């Protein structure tokens, strides 16, 4: 009897696809929802632009660091693989466990909730404040139901193959880049032609001394959340053609373009809105566009942002299941999660269960709560992966490294050090959320030993 080859993930994405995946995984709701929150801590145009620039540089340093690992170990799973190779299966499992409970599924939920927030602009009946069920502790709004539906639909799209998922995501990404470019160029041109900015109005009080440092730390966390996702290509490394060249290039090109776009968008915000009008505003993109061009343009912007968020949601649903697939291949997660669809060559079971769990998170907390859990957990593992570059260079000095991180050891060391400082600041500023995140991570220890015994 002839043995049939086991279905596997196939290399079907080129440099263009990988770069757009980096961009699409990052540019979602954050850039349109975050700057008003940052303005609460740093009510100054200069400081707002500074933290966005600093966040862009940090993200590029992180991308260069991850590029070395991705080119060296081009396997599906990304950070799970790097932590496993550097520290052993327990470290990899704890990352994957946290990814399933918090970072990846929580990120998907946060994007879906952001989508619902903007959709409510057009259909107020889907507001996050329009509760269909209100039983005290349990509250479910029509907006949360919409978020769940968006996850379900995009999960099905990505179930049918990475090429089909990538094609849809590429369309979303190209469309939103064109849309953002039109509004930013038009807005900055209007500000320049008027010869003045509206940001010169009444300014809220700025923090100083240690309070300023704390405010910068909290703001950087918000900024890094909007950059989160650039490591998407690391998780799908085995599905990228000529991966040893295209993975590092996609990270460099993608993160650089994102940084430029984010700085220009925020320049549009601070030159359009008085600072007092920015503080605490969630739908800052819509408000700035309406302020500059009128309510009709604001409505159009809200519609285009919906496309942006859906594209990011789709991209995240593409790459995240590869983490759980890799864990299952190592016998450290549910065996079915290692299943590859024989026709579509996707980790189909992992995709489905990721969608189910993320949908559940949409029904359990607000956008800001999910936002905090996701970023804090990401910071923890960033430090471990950065250290893995140093560990593997020492343990495997002769291993093939098609790309070596530029500026080693300064670039990865500086990135890791600053992430540690931001993480400490997060614990100080948001102790309850941080402790909850740590508890969820620790719970993974007995689960790991259970899987090891199996």
CB 430 within 8 A of CB 222: no
Q: What average pLDDT does the structure give for the chain?
A: 87
CA–CA gap between residue 307 and residue 28 (Å, rounded)? 9
Cα–Cα nearest to 63, from 120, 106, 5, 23 = 23
Instruction: Point out which residues pair with 236 in neighbouring strands.
Output: 76
Q: Give the Cα separation of 280 and 172 in Å (integer).
A: 28
- pLDDT over 50 at 366, yes or no: no
Instruction: Check if the beta carbon of residue 172 is closer than 8 Å to that of residue 24.
Output: yes
Radius of gyration of the chain (CA): 21
* Predicted local confidence at residue 367, as pLDDT: 45
Query: For residue 244, is pLDDT > 50?
Result: yes
Q: Distance (Å, rounded) from C-alpha 346 to C-alpha 160?
A: 7
More confident residue, 2 or 106: 106
Please report how many Cα atoms fall inside a 13 Å half-sphere around the Cα of residue 200, on the Cβ side.
4
Q: Is pLDDT of 67 > 60?
A: yes
For residue 139, the cross-strand partners are: 134
DSSP per residue over 281-310, as a string? -SSHHHHHHHHHH-HHHHHHHHHHHHHHHH
Residue with the larger pLDDT of the pair 55 and 302: 55
Q: Find out whether 434 and 102 touch, Cβ atoms under 8 Å.
A: no
Closest CA to 304 of 31, 48, 37: 31
> In which band, very low, low, confident or very high, does the pLDDT at 327 lie, cut at 50, 70 and 90?
very high
Cis before 409? omega within 30: yes
Most confident of 25-34, 241-250, 276-285, 442-451: 241-250
Q: Of all helices (H) and strands (E), which one includes residue 275?
A: helix 275-278
Is the pLDDT at 197 greater than 70, yes or no? no
- Determine the Cα–Cα distance for residues 405 and 386; give it in Å rounded to an integer: 11
**What confidence score (pLDDT) does residue 437 get?**
73
DSSP 72-122: HS--BTTHHHHHHHHH-HHHHHHHHHHIIIIIHHHHHHHHHHHHHHHHHHH
Buried b (16+ CB within 10 A) or exposed e, 136-166: eeebbbbbbbbbbebbeebbebbbbbbbebb
State yes or no: pLDDT of 277 exceeds 70. yes
Nearest to 93 by CA among 329, 348, 317: 329
Q: Does residue 30 register a pLDDT over 90?
A: no
Domain 15-453 bears CATH identifier 1.20.1740.10: yes
Whether the per-residue pLDDT at 150 is higher than 50: the answer is yes
Dihedrals phi, psi of 236, to nearest 5 degrees: -110, 25
pLDDT (mean) for 16-44 = 89
Buried b (16+ CB within 10 A) or exposed e, 185-221: eebbeebeeeeebbbeeeeeeebeeeeeeebbbbbbb
Q: Which of 59-73, 222-236, 394-408, 435-449 has the lowest mean pLDDT?
A: 435-449
Q: Please give the model's pTM, rounded to 2 decimal places.
A: 0.89
């Amino acid at each position: 009897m002839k043995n049939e080859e086991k279905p596997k993930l196939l290399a079907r994405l080129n440099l263009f696809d990988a770069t757009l995946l980096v961009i699409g995984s990052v540019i979602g709701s954050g850039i349109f929802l975050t700057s008003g929150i940052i303005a609460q801590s740093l009510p100054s145009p200069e400081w707002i632009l500074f933290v966005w620039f600093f966040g862009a540089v940090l993200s590029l340093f992180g991308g260069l660091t991850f590029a070395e690992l991705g080119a060296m170990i081009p396997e599906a799973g990304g950070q799970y693989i790097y932590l496993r190779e550097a520290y052993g299966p327990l470290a990899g499992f704890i990352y994957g466990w946290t990814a399933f409970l918090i970072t990846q599924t929580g990120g998907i939920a946060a994007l879906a909730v952001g989508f619902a927030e903007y959709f409510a602009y057009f259909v107020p009946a889907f507001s996050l404040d329009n509760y269909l069920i209100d039983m005290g502790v349990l509250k479910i709004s029509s907006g949360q139901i919409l978020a769940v539906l968006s996850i379900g639909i995009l999960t099905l799209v990505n179930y049918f193959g990475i090429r089909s998922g990538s094609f849809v995501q590429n369309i979303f990404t190209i469309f939103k880049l064109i849309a953002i470019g039109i509004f930013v160029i038009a807005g900055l041109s209007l500000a320049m032609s008027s010869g003045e900015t509206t940001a010169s109005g009444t300014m809220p009080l700025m923090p100083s001394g240690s309070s300023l440092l704390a405010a910068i730390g909290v703001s950087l966390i918000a900024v890094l959340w909007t950059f989160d996702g650039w490591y998407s290509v690391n998780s799908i490394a085995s599905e990228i053609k000529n991966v040893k060249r295209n993975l590092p290039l996609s990270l460099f090109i993608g993160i650089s373009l994102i940084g430029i776009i984010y700085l220009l968008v925020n320049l549009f915000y601070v030159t359009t809105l008085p600072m007092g009008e920015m503080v605490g505003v969630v739908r800052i993109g819509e408000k700035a566009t309406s302020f500059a061009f009128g309510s009709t343009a604001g409505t159009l912007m809200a519609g285009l942002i919906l496309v942006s968020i859906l594209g990011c949601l789709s991209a995240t649903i593409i790459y995240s299941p590869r983490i759980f697939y890799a864990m299952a291949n190592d016998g450290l997660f549910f065996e079915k999660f290692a299943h590859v669809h024989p026709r579509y060559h996707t980790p189909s079971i992992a995709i489905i269960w990721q969608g189910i769990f993320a949908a559940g998170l949409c029904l359990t907390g607000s956008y800001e709560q999910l936002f905090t859990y996701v970023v804090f957990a990401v910071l923890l593992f960033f430090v471990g992966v950065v250290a893995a570059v140093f560990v593997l260079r020492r343990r495997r000095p002769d291993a093939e490294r098609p790309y070596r991180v530029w500026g080693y050891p300064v670039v990865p060391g500086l990135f890791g050090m600053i992430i540690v400082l931001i993480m400490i600041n997060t614990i100080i500023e948001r102790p309850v959320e941080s402790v909850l995140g740590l508890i969820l991570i620790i719970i993974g220890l007995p689960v790991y030993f259970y899987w090891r015994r199996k």
